Structure 1
Amino acid sequence: MPFQAISIKKIVNGILERDYVLPAIQRHFVWKPDQIINLFDSILRGYPIGSFLFWRIKTEHVNDFQYYDFITDFNVKDNSNDKIVPSGEKEITAVLDGQQRLTALLIGLRGSYTYKTPYLRQDHPQAYQKRELYLNLAKPKEDESHGLAFLTEKEAKEGRREGKLWYKIGRLLTEEPSEFMLSEEGDSLPLEVKKTAFRRITEFSQCLNLDIINYYVEEEQDIDKVLSIFIRVNSGGTVLSYSDLLLSTATALWTEYDAREEIENITHEFASYKAGFKISSDFVMKACLTLSDLDVKFIVKNFNRVNMQKIEAEWEKIKDAILCTMRFAIGYGYNQDTISSYNALLPIAYYIKSKDIAEKFDHAAKYKKSREDAITWLRRALLMKVFGGSSDTVISRYRDVLSKSQSENFPLKEIESSFKDIAITSQDIDEIFEDTRYDREAFYVLHEIFGREYNTDVDMDHLYPKSLFTQRNMRTWGFTTRESQEEVQDLVNSLANLRLAGHGENIEKSAMKFEAWVQGLSKVQREALLIPAMKDYGPENFVEFCKKRTVLMKDRLKRNLTVQSRSNKNLKKH
């Protein structure tokens, strides 16, 4: 069948009538306001906007598939499409390629875009405002993208003060250009402005009525063949990622679950935790491949019916293992800001699923040793950036060790004997203390030194408050040279001046001077925190404190880790 064409006005009205729908294999709308504006600007300039691929589904097959409605009023805080159930009494057209552009047209002409106002706090009442697309009927400047902008109604009215005449472009779907000119608003305009306004409205109206949407219709009714087409047309670019394709395929081929809803639910659950984990569908789909013992690569050949059915059959166990792993990580104080790679959690999730212990692993006494070994491995993996490079290869190698292990416990010893990437030398430790400052890597080191389970939020706490070390105070305490002041300011954020503390502990300490706080600690508490013995803990002795505590911290870190000589570590690599 050759390419056909239809006008923007007709296709937008068709979407509103649900003659055009989104198949479940499509992903969410992801365009930004500027992208929508650029699309309309291209249309006004007469530029081509690409072709579209539609899938005509015959009446007898309409109820064989799942569909979603287009988003009309987009909100960045909730970009979910509503699921729809067609009547089954007529054919429908599903959009295989062009969803982002069509949704952009719909939002611009009949909907709105709600996004965060820059510089306002998330909880500010005006932080998220509904904006609609307007056209400046006065002569726009050269850099104004044809005078298009997303505005609130208030902003549109205030534009007149700047000589702008904002016109909501959606009006052109229901009224002719002459109607505006004959209205009180249009009739009151100065003659020259009226001429410019009429010309611009007419030009825009003509664009909406021209047949510029070029599309091809696929008539195939076999979902496997349609998926093949969908993957082919979407895998060539970078806009739709391979994880999106994998999720789309799962959505189309799962029979017991709605894959799209399941993945959305689990990512929303992660986000609701206090730890604020921002888990993407990429991670969940990678977990599905990993925990199902499939090839972990996001490549087209992995998007097949057999693999998707295997993932669906194991979905409940996969989901439970992921959730248990997250609870486990939270229990040791990890959150969105302290995990540099979520892929580092996959070996732990694989262990949990393979042993079928998701209901108990994160809390039962029976698994205390496994939890300790798993968190030891996680700390070292994050500290040594094990998952910073070719993570697919790393994930597969770790999974191989875990799958072959006969131990009921987390196989830390087997991992240590198989991998060099978590081994650490005395030189590594020296470099860590030299380079690490107040950031997520500091969290990993402190966790390895002072590691314990936490039942609350965990803070990295400055022992000597950072705010103390103003230039004036430093001079008072004897740090009079530029070099000595720079040394102090560097040490303030060093590992020697940091500890891990429960949120409540941190607040309680913040109200006290460090000297008084130290005096209130017992001998056992001081030893646990590696507070060096000193006669005077006043800030004038801060540098001495840091040097002594660094020695104590390095010694404990060496004891806690399997410290090798540099030569032995290098030998193991060959």
Structure 2
Amino acid sequence: MAYKTTSLGQAVLRASAYDNSYLLPAMQRPYVWEKSDAIKLFNSIYKGFPIGTSLLWETKSSGDRKLGANRVYKIPFAKTESNHLYEMPVQEGQDITLVLDGQQRLTTMNIALNGYWESKKEEREKMFFNMDVEPSNKSKLPFVIADSVDGDNYIPCHDIMKWKTRDLFEEYVSINNISLTLNWHKNINNLYSRIWVDEAFCYGECKAETMGDAVDIFVVSNSSGKSLDMTDLIMAYLSTSWDTIDAKNEVKTLVSELNKKFNKSKPFSTKSILKIFLCVSKDEKGNLLPSSTSNILKSLDADLIKRLENQWIHYRKSIFDVCTLIERWGLAKAGLLKSTNAVIPVLLWLMKNNVDITSETKDVAQNLELARRWLLMSLINGVFGGQSDSAIADTRKTILESNADSLAFPLAGLLKDGVKHGKYAFYNESDIMSFLSNLEYSKDNSTISLLLYLVRGSYFKGIDRDTAYHLDHIFSKSDNPLVFINNIGNIQLLPSKDNQKKSNRHPKMLWNSDNYGDEFLEMNILPVNPLYTDDGNYLIYDYPEKLIPNREVHLSKKIASLLELQ
């Protein structure tokens, strides 16, 4: 491949909004470089170091621009939270130059010289050059990114784009009195040479005939630099090959819609949405695709890509339904979905049986409850941690091999898969009891929360989707210096308003009152009858050393019953 060169300034000019000669194809990844990467890049430029090569494809616009595969985008001039790409309107047959490799570097230079970085406070931060710092200085960086800087020794890097010729540069130096300070003049002259004189932008010209050829070249050329994982590659193929769906925009929109259900936790990403999609999609024979993304990539051809496009709408609705259930079960607000792969068995069961989650029939309600129990236990047991592809394969098999004529959710079979792939083996009530006895408040809060959601959520109206629940000590730590005061037997799941109302009131005064009925006590596994009679008549709420271990036993029995364990 023959390479050409031009100055960095000319390359940025072509990438800028003033020119838009360089554009991004639909397959390109979002801009991912951080501010620290930008500082390193410009430090290398200032020192005269090579910054790598780019790959450009000079072609003609073709096809319906309403489709994602044929759209082209402007190179971003800002780094924002959304990283939104702006489409470039082009005409059929128009000459365009697409950046296949080097996008991150070119975008970084465009942001530094023409745009800004948006901070968490929504301030527009820009890059500045410190004229005091010589290229040989190893202790101080010559570039800084900030909303503003103090000192005449700093100039905004935006000014660099005013230096297109030597005359314009010298005029800038004179107007700003930079020539009066010898060191400043020497350093800014060095920067001018690096950007506008040296032909440091080196690029190869892609000879692809079609977009398909360009994708193949894109895959090879992006095998270095910021890691391009299997999901990025599949997204590249889908975004340039789907006929009726803008894959990149569809996935981005779905991620945003689902994460809105999860308060602040935002568990879903482009990678996880695509991974889950591929795990519930089928090939031409009606078989599920491999659980390994790398194996899917090997078999990704035009027919499979079209088949995936046809399955997207069903998947989109189904995963939205699953997240609606998770929201209904209270797990979304609590931020307890720590593994998005855990939704795959539930999602596949919904899709296989065309389950209507709004149905109020007894059969649907009972099986949705079994699905809830499985999801919670899979999160408790870390079933999809580590080598999750194997767990995905086994749980998918269990779902598919369950009775085709029955809606029944295969809880028992999935729990066996959980024993195989999870951290713990739960065969019976004794195993549950042993597990609970080793949990401790603070250290195991996420697990304790999941267990108590499992129990409380099994009761009618036990969990309200819009209510925040807190882990609360039944007996306060300050009044009871018992060694087991942080055991799960002393922890309950309490609505935040009740927790505030409770304050440090003694359980005997709080739970043994008319304010809380039997249903409340039962769903929290608290004694409905406060009179403890096994070895005498006394109020159990007066004896934490008896209530706490006794409650652990009852929690174990309840959980074992919910999981249908002996």
TM-score when normalising by structure 2: 0.85
After the TM superposition, which residues 523-562 of structure 1 pair with which residues of structure 2 at under 5 Å, given as runs? 523-532=518-527, 533=530, 535=538, 541-562=543-564
2:130 aligned residue (136, 160, 167): 136
Contact 1:62 1:86 in 2 (8 A): no
Corresponding residue of 1:257: 245
Offset, 1:445: 1.6
How big is the shift at 1:82?
Answer: 1.2
Matches within 5 A, 1:264-413: 264-276=252-264, 277-292=266-281, 293-299=288-294, 300-335=297-332, 337-357=335-355, 360-361=356-357, 364-365=360-361, 366-405=363-402, 406=404, 407-413=406-412
- Secondary structure at the residue paired with 1:53? strand
Tell me which moved more, 527-536 or 37-46. 527-536
* Structure 1 gaps, min length 5: 117-126, 565-574
**Distance of 2:220 and 2:491 partners within structure 1:** 52
Match 1:72 to one of 58, 77, 88: 77
When residues 171 and 369 of structure 1 are mapped into structure 2, their CA distance, relative to the original with a 3 A threshold, is same
Whichever residue aligns with residue 252 of structure 2, its letter is: E
CA distance 1:44–1:273, change in 2 (3 Å): same
Alpha-carbon separation, structure 1, partners of 2:235 and 2:184: 47
1:543 and 1:523 map into 2 onto residues whose CA distance is 23
Match of 1:172 in 2: 160
Partner residue, 1:119: none
Contact 2:395 2:417 in 1 (8 A): no
CA contact (8 A) 1:5 1:211 kept: yes
**1:205 alignment counterpart:** 192
Q: CA deviation at 1:301?
A: 1.2
2:261/2:323 contact within 8 Å kept:
no
1:297 is displaced (CA, Å) by 1.8
Superposition deviation, residue 66 in structure 1 = 1.5
Partner residue in 2 for 1:186: 177
Aligned counterpart in structure 2 of residue 424 of structure 1, from 402, 423, 427: 427
Cα distance in 1 for partners of 2:279, 2:61 equals 39
Which deviates further from its counterpart, 372-381 or 297-306? Answer: 297-306
Structure 2 letter corresponding to 1:525: F
Measured in 2, the distance between the counterparts of 1:302 and 1:38 equals 39
- More helix by proportion, 1 or 2? 1
CA contact (8 A) 1:327 1:362 kept: no
Paired position in structure 2 for 1:120: none
The two structures have a TM-score, normalised by structure 1, of: 0.84
The answer for the alignment partner of 1:6 in structure 2 is 6
Report the alpha carbon displacement of residue 87 of structure 1 after superposing the two structures with TM. 3.0
Q: Tell me the equivalent position of 2:285.
A: none
Deviates more, 1:200-209 or 1:449-458: 449-458
Structure 1 residues 203 and 242: CA distance shift in structure 2, 3 A: same
Unaligned runs of 5+ in 2: 282-287, 533-537
Residue 544 (structure 1) shift:
4.2
Provide the aligned C-alpha RMSD in A: 2.7
SS across alignment from 1:395: helix
The offset of 1:231, in angstroms, is 1.6
**Do 1:325 and 1:362's aligned partners in 2 also have CA atoms closer than 8 Å?**
no
CA offset at residue 419 of structure 1? Answer: 6.3
- Who is 1:34 aligned against? 36
- The 2-side partners of 1:278 and 1:420 are apart by 25
| 1:71 aligned partner, one-letter code | P
Q: 1:427: how far off?
A: 3.4
Alignment correspondent of 1:97: 101
Q: Distance in 1 between matches of 2:208 and 2:374?
A: 50
Take 1:408 and 1:200, find their aligned partners in 2: how far apart are those partners?
74
Query: 1:37 touches 1:148 (CA, 8 Å); kept in 2?
Result: yes
SS of the residue 1:229 aligns to: helix
Aligned to 1:230: 218
| Greater Cα offset, 521-530 or 413-422 | 413-422
Matched, 1:462 2:472: yes
C-alpha contact 1:328 1:362 (8 A) present in aligned 2: no
Q: Which range moves more in the overlay, 285-294 or 22-31?
A: 285-294
